[in-house]
């Protein structure tokens, strides 16, 4: 669907995007993740053809964005960081203007607008001036604008910034439902959002792609092996003995517990097996009750920090 | 393109700007019309039009200052330039929208000779040639304003720039008289212009060799031409500066001549500035 090859953007001497390579497949939701100033918006602006790249190619459905801009742009609906709204228009006038701009056939305009308005829940605001709308509604008008004409690719730059928690959940659900029919790319620096919504995460730092995988795989890969957090009531030695009976336990690390008469363990498990049931039965047989058992995959937050921090260290080392 | 055109016309007609623009033209023209043609009873409508050309200095910035600067400021240009519409169509749609707003007072002005005709003999061909010239003059001024609106984000700066450029063009006759008619002074002026062009080239490309080549060629050709045929330079700087005085090319229309070179000149000014506008937008995307 989208192919980005060797993309570079320089502003004077500052390299905003540094040899970026990735492909976006059809019908998935992609999350663009990175700290502020990582080059997310710049990359999105280049994909949508708002600014030109210094080097490299972007192919949208086989069309180069710089050589066949009209064909390529036709496949894309874009919601920039700041929704591009004309404050003196009503919602209806604005959407009509965008529909005409995207040259949607006249017969379909009415139907298309009313469908888009119902997906973004804008019907009540139809005849209100955009300047009088709240931030959340403005964001929705921006989203409605991107959806008009049902382009195959929808690109959203930080779609939930400035919304209240209820609206955030609504917009997330909306994005999820969009993912069924469209290819969606969204950028964010909120990790929970990305892990909740996206099928695939691209992490960028300082204009470079540092990771590209599904959110589950990313957290798994980063921890290396599976491990469990365990709190058991009983003396350490006895529990160790009981757990020796369970296969596939690689290592058992003891921590002092906050609970009285109990022990905390970190259990490292070899391979991909699920040994939770075995642990339960082993301890049940020895009559040591399990107070807590939890798998410790690294959260996306930790993965993100680790990836973006290690980049920093590398760079510092390079400077020396 | 049609969508942009419709949006621009509508936004001028739903905000104050369009009405202020039209009302101001009609007010000033009305005062001069009453004074010259009604009270003083001259049948020459062209003279009335030619004495109100100064209104473009004030009125053009009012119309053009927001056209691109505001889009950039509000980031709505992101919508336009990521939509499947070519940049030249966007610019042309906007330009034609402004011309449409300008046509309305011109059409109303075109009724004035008919009013005069009720009470005396009026040369209609002369009057309407002047109206056509007046229309083209306004279109050329609007094109200049369009370009200057594309170079900045601030409407105020766009307005001041437009006023400044149009004012210089308006008083170009006076500026011409600063230079003497002799060939030497013309030659020196061209040398200075050649150096300025080379400097601009350097500012744009940061390429010392290219700048040197351009500068040497321009200055060299000027000097060589001067020694070969110095009569070529007599009054030449005046001719060149005259090209920058847009309103001067309106004078023939006032005299009742449907001046083809004048129309070609106005159309060239329009094309050049619309083209420059497109280029300035493209340049911003590439830098």
Give the ipTM.
0.85
For residue A212, the model assigns a pLDDT of: 85
State which of A74-88, B169-183, B229-243, B247-261 shows the largest mean pLDDT. A74-88
Q: Which two tokens stand for residue A160?
A: 């939930």
Of residues A65 and A311, more confidently modeled = A65
Q: What is chain B's Cα-based Rg?
A: 22
- Residue A110 class from Cβ within 10 Å (0-12 exposed, 13-18 middle, 19+ buried)? exposed
For residue A259, pLDDT over 70 is answered with yes
Q: Which two tokens stand for residue A316?
A: 């510092």
- Residue A34 class from Cβ within 10 Å (0-12 exposed, 13-18 middle, 19+ buried)? buried
pLDDT single digits (tens) B90-145: 999 999 999 999 999 999 999 999 999 888 888 899 999 999 999 999 999 999 99
Question: Are B79 and A98 inside 8 Å of each other by CB?
Answer: yes
- One domain, residues B16 and B76: yes
Diameter over CA atoms, chain A: 78
Of residues B139 and A120, more confidently modeled = B139
- One domain, residues B145 and B82: yes
Single out the residue in B234, B253, B275 at which a domain terminates. Answer: B234
Angle at B82 between CA B80 and CA B87, to 5 degrees: 60
Of residues B178 and A152, more confidently modeled = A152
| Cα A130 versus chain centre, distance | 29
B13 touches A at CB < 8 Å:
no
Q: A280 Cβ partners below 8 Å, 6+ apart?
A: A290, A293
Interface of A with B in 114-153 (CB under 8 A): 145
DSSP B184-231: HHHHHHHHHHHHHHHHHHHHHH--HHHHHHHHHHHHHHHHHHHHH-GG
pLDDT band at residue A231, thresholds of 50, 70 and 90? confident
Question: Are B285 and A71 inside 8 Å of each other by CB?
Answer: no
Q: Which two tokens stand for residue B117?
A: 């005709």
- One domain, residues B111 and B194: no
For residue A226, the model assigns a pLDDT of: 67
Q: Closest Cα of chain B to A195: distance in Å?
A: 28
B283 touches A at CB < 8 Å:
no
pLDDT band at residue A297, thresholds of 50, 70 and 90? low
- One domain, residues B32 and B102: yes
- One domain, residues B34 and B81: yes
CB A16 within 8 A of CB A10: yes
| Lowest mean pLDDT segment, chosen from A109-123, A147-161, A302-316, B91-105 | A302-316
> How far apart are alpha carbons B189 and B236 in whole angstroms?
10
Residue B283 CB coordination number (10 Å)? 12
DSSP B31-99: HHIIIIIIIS----HHHHHHHTTTHHHHHHHHHHTHHHHHHHHTTTHHHHHTSSS-HHHHHHHHHHHHH
Helix (H, G, I), strand (E, B) or coil at A270: coil
For residue A238, the model assigns a pLDDT of: 84
Q: B93 Cβ partners below 8 Å, 6+ apart?
A: B1, B2, B3, B4, B5, B8
Nearest alpha carbon to residue B253 among B267, B242, B239, B263: B263
Compute the average pLDDT of residues A112-140.
90
- One domain, residues B49 and B163: yes
For residue B241, the model assigns a pLDDT of: 85
Helix (H, G, I), strand (E, B) or coil at A234: coil
| Cα B102 versus chain centre, distance | 14
> How far apart are alpha carbons A186 and A167 in whole angstroms?
17
Q: Which two tokens stand for residue B45?
A: 């409508």
> How far apart are alpha carbons B83 and A145 in whole angstroms?
11
Residues in chain A within 8 Å Cβ distance of B14: 88
In a mutational test of the B interface, the residue from A14, A50, A58, A129 whose CB has the highest number of chain B CBs within 10 Å is A50
Q: Closest Cα of chain A to B1: distance in Å?
A: 8
Helix (H, G, I), strand (E, B) or coil at A130: helix
Q: Which two tokens stand for residue B159?
A: 């307005």
B85 touches A at CB < 8 Å:
yes
A16 touches B at CB < 8 Å:
no
pLDDT band at residue B233, thresholds of 50, 70 and 90? confident
> How far apart are alpha carbons A188 and A33 in whole angstroms?
6
> How far apart are alpha carbons B169 and B57 in whole angstroms?
10
- One domain, residues B212 and B134: no
Compute the average pLDDT of residues A33-44.
85
Q: Closest Cα of chain A to B216: distance in Å?
A: 29
Shortest CA distance from B7: residue in chain A = A97
> How far apart are alpha carbons A261 and A255 in whole angstroms?
13
For residue A316, pLDDT over 50 is answered with no
CB A24 within 8 A of CB A47: no
| Lowest mean pLDDT segment, chosen from A49-63, A107-121, A160-174, B13-27 | A160-174
Domain enclosing residue B215, as ranges = 183-234
| Cα A109 versus chain centre, distance | 32
| H or E element that contains A211 | strand A208-213
A280 touches B at CB < 8 Å:
no
Q: How many domains does chain B have?
A: 2
Single out the residue in B234, B256, B277 at which a domain terminates. Answer: B234
B83 touches A at CB < 8 Å:
yes
For residue A318, pLDDT over 50 is answered with no
For residue B58, the model assigns a pLDDT of: 93
Strand A249-256 versus strand A200-205 pairing type: unpaired
Question: Are A69 and B83 inside 8 Å of each other by CB?
Answer: no
> How far apart are alpha carbons B201 and B244 in whole angstroms?
21
For residue A186, pLDDT over 50 is answered with yes
- One domain, residues B78 and B51: yes
- One domain, residues B197 and B158: no
Q: Which ranges constitute the DSSP H helices of A87-133?
A: 91-101, 106-119
For residue A311, pLDDT over 80 is answered with no
pLDDT band at residue A220, thresholds of 50, 70 and 90? low
pLDDT band at residue A91, thresholds of 50, 70 and 90? very high
Length of chain B: 287
Compute the average pLDDT of residues A271-292.
83
For residue A315, the model assigns a pLDDT of: 45
Q: Closest Cα of chain A to B95: distance in Å?
A: 16
In a mutational test of the B interface, the residue from A84, A100, A103, A138 whose CB has the highest number of chain B CBs within 10 Å is A84
Compute the average pLDDT of residues A249-258.
80
B227 touches A at CB < 8 Å:
no
For residue A223, the model assigns a pLDDT of: 55
CA pseudo-torsion sign A254, A256, A257, A263: positive
Question: Are A85 and B76 inside 8 Å of each other by CB?
Answer: yes
Interface of A with B in 29-68 (CB under 8 A): 45, 48-52
- One domain, residues B214 and B125: no
For residue B1, pLDDT over 50 is answered with yes
pLDDT band at residue A221, thresholds of 50, 70 and 90? low
Q: What is chain A's Cα-based Rg?
A: 25
> How far apart are alpha carbons A202 and A15 in whole angstroms?
19
Share the mean pLDDT of chain A.
84
Shortest CA distance from A96: residue in chain B = B3
pLDDT single digits (tens) B135-192: 999 999 999 999 999 999 999 999 999 999 999 999 988 888 887 778 888 888 888 8
For residue A277, the model assigns a pLDDT of: 84
> How far apart are alpha carbons A250 and A267 in whole angstroms?
8
CATH numbers and ranges of domains, chain A: 2-220 (3.40.50.300), 223-295 (3.30.70.100)
- One domain, residues B18 and B82: yes
User: What share of chain B has pLDDT > 70, as a percent?
Assistant: 100
For residue A190, pLDDT over 80 is answered with no
Compute the average pLDDT of residues A42-49.
91
> How far apart are alpha carbons A172 and A169 in whole angstroms?
5
- One domain, residues B128 and B219: no
């Amino acid at each position: 669907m989208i192919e980005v090859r060797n993309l570079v953007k320089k502003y004077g001497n500052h390299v905003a995007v540094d040899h970026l390579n990735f492909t976006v497949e059809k019908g998935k939701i992609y999350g663009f993740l990175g700290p502020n100033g990582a080059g997310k918006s710049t990359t999105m602006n280049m994909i949508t053809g708002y600014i030109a790249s210094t080097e490299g190619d972007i192919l949208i459905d086989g069309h180069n964005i710089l050589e066949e801009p009209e064909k390529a742009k036709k496949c894309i609906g874009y919601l920039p960081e700041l929704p591009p709204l004309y404050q003196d228009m009503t919602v209806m006038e604005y959407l009509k203007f965008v529909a005409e701009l995207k040259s949607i056939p006249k017969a379909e305009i009415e139907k298309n607008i009313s469908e888009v308005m119902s997906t973004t829940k804008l019907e009540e605001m139809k005849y209100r001036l955009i300047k009088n709308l709240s931030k959340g509604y403005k964001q929705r008008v921006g989203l409605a604008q991107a959806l008009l004409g049902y382009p195959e690719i929808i690109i959203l730059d930080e779609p939930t910034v400035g919304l209240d928690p209820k609206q955030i959940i609504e917009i997330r659900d909306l994005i999820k439902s969009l993912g069924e029919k469209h290819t969606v790319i969204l950028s964010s620096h909120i990790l929970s959002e990305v892990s909740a919504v996206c099928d695939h995460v691209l992490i960028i730092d300082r204009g470079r792609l540092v990771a590209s995988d599904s959110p589950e795989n990313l957290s798994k890969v980063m921890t290396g092996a599976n491990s469990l957090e365990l709190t058991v009531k009983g003396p350490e030695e006895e529990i160790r003995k009981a757990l020796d009976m369970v296969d596939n336990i690689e290592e058992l690390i003891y921590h002092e517990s906050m609970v009285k008469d109990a022990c905390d363990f970190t259990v490292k498990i070899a391979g991909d097996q699920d040994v939770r049931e075995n642990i339960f039965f082993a301890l049940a047989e020895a009559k040591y009750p399990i107070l807590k058992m939890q798998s410790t995959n690294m959260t996306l937050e930790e993965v993100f920090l680790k990836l973006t921090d290690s980049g920093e260290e590398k760079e510092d080392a390079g400077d020396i | 393109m049609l969508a942009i055109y419709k949006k621009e016309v509508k936004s001028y007609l739903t905000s104050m700007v369009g009405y202020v623009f039209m009302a101001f033209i009609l007010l000033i023209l009305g005062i001069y019309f009453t004074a010259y043609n009604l009270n003083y009873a001259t049948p020459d409508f062209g003279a009335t039009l030619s004495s109100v050309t100064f209104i473009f200095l004030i009125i053009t910035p009012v119309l053009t200052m927001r056209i691109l600067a505001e889009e950039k400021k509000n980031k709505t240009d992101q919508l336009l330039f990521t939509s499947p519409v070519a940049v030249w169509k966007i610019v042309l749609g906007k330009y034609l929208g402004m011309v449409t707003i300008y046509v309305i007072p011109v059409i109303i002005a075109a009724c004035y000779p008919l009013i005069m005709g009720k009470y005396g003999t009026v040369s209609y061909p002369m009057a309407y040639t002047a109206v056509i010239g007046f229309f083209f003059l306004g279109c050329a001024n609007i094109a200049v304003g369009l370009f200057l609106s594309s170079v900045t984000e601030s409407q105020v700066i766009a307005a001041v720039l437009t006023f400044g450029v149009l004012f210089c063009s308006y008083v170009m006759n006076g500026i011409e008289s600063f230079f003497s008619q002799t060939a030497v002074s013309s030659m020196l002026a061209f040398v200075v212009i050649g150096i300025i062009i080379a400097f601009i080239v350097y500012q744009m490309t940061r390429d010392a060799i290219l700048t040197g080549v351009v500068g040497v060629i321009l200055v060299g050709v000027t000097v060589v031409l001067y020694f070969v045929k110095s009569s070529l330079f007599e009054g030449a700087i005046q001719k060149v500066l005259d090209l920058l005085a847009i309103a001067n090319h309106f004078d023939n229309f006032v005299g009742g001549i449907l001046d083809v070179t004048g129309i070609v000149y106005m159309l060239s000014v329009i094309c050049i500035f619309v083209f420059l506008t497109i280029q300035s937008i493209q340049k911003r995307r590439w830098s």
